[in-house]
């Protein structure tokens, strides 16, 4: 059975996503919104992290607090658009390590081509959050997860902004144990592999390229 797909329908996420979809949104505005949604998605994707008790001294007396226990986190943005989530997530999880996964979509074949990979070596002991705003064909997501698994990762979660039904199906078929968090599931992919209605090319919109 495939792992869960969680659509984060929090009003702040939906509001910001709608602003991002607007073709007239500036590069600066788009980047800021992606960063903010990254924070909000980080909040949701870490909701079930285990806690452990810890005794601390307040200025008044000793008390039992709770702190995050268990495996440490790795953020694994798929370059380049995945980097748009990174700062927002790191501001909430400053101790997380980062794996950079450089994969681009060949514009003709839409296949994933890896050009860079740099990662902490102890992935087997960590929870890995794979980040890419757009889950379109899922070729990049599948290739990135394949690569992270080949380096030992066993506990992975995928976080995106928009997912196409085709991409979700492919990711779940290739990696059925990987749960997904997304702000929306859109209608379909067009003939060029773009999500419809989508928001265009997330990397170009983040960096003002074309």
Q: Which residues are annotated as a binding site for 5-phospho-alpha-D-ribose 1-diphosphate?
A: 80, 105, 132-140, 201
Q: Confirm or reject binding of residue 44 to ligand URA (CB under 6 A).
A: no
- Print burial letters for 27-54: b (CB count within 10 Å at least 16), e (below 16): eeebbbbbbbbbbbbbebbbeeeeeeee
Sort residue 74 into left (φ over 0), alpha (ψ -120 to 50) or beta. beta
Q: Residue 181 and residue 41: Cα distance in Å, rounded?
A: 8
Q: Residue 72 and residue 78: Cα distance in Å, rounded?
A: 19
Which residue in 136, 138, 163, 171 binds ligand URA (CB under 6 A)?
136
Q: Confirm or reject binding of residue 167 to ligand URA (CB under 6 A).
A: no
Tokens representing 121?
Answer: 């070596």
Site string for ligand URA, 73-112 (x = CB under 6 A): --------x-------------------------------
Q: Residue 191 and residue 203: Cα distance in Å, rounded?
A: 19
Annotated binding site: 80, 105, 132-140, 195, 200-202
Q: Tokens 């997904």, residue?
A: 180
DSSP-derived letter for residue 61 is -
**Do residues 89 and 34 touch, judged by C-beta distance below 8 A?**
no
- Residues present in the chain in total: 210
Which residue in 43, 104, 117, 194 binds ligand URA (CB under 6 A)?
194
Q: Confirm or reject binding of residue 202 to ligand URA (CB under 6 A).
A: yes
Closest CB 85 distance from ligand URA, rounded Å: 13
Q: Confirm or reject binding of residue 134 to ligand URA (CB under 6 A).
A: yes
Q: Tokens 């008390």, residue?
A: 63
**Which stretch, 72-80, 113-121, 148-156, 197-205, contacts ligand URA (CB under 6 A)?**
197-205
Closest CB 144 distance from ligand URA, rounded Å: 14
Q: Confirm or reject binding of residue 42 to ligand URA (CB under 6 A).
A: no
Annotated binding site for uracil: 195, 200-202
Name the residues that contact ligand URA, by CB under 6 A.
81, 134, 136, 193-195, 198, 201-203
């Amino acid at each position: 059975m495939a792992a869960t797909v969680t659509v984060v329908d929090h009003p702040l996420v939906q509001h910001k996503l709608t602003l991002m979809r607007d073709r007239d949104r500036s590069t600066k505005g788009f980047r800021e919104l992606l960063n903010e949604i990254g924070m909000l998605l980080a909040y949701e994707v870490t909701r079930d992290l285990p806690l452990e008790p810890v005794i601390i001294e307040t200025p008044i007396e000793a008390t039992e607090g709770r702190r995050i226990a268990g495996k440490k986190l790795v953020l694994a943005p798929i370059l380049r658009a995945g980097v748009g989530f990174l700062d927002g997530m790191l501001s909430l999880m400053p101790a997380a390590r980062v794996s950079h996964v450089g994969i681009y979509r060949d514009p003709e074949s839409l296949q994933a081509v890896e050009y860079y990979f740099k990662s902490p070596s102890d992935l087997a002991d960590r929870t890995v959050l794979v980040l890419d705003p757009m889950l379109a064909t899922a070729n990049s997501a599948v290739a990135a997860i394949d690569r992270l698994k080949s380096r030992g990762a066993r506990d992975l979660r995928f976080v995106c902004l928009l997912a196409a039904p085709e991409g979700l199906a492919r990711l779940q078929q290739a990696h059925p144990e990987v749960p997904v968090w997304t702000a929306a599931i859109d209608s379909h992919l067009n003939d060029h592999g773009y999500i419809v209605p989508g928001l265009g090319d997330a990397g170009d919109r983040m960096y003002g390229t074309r």
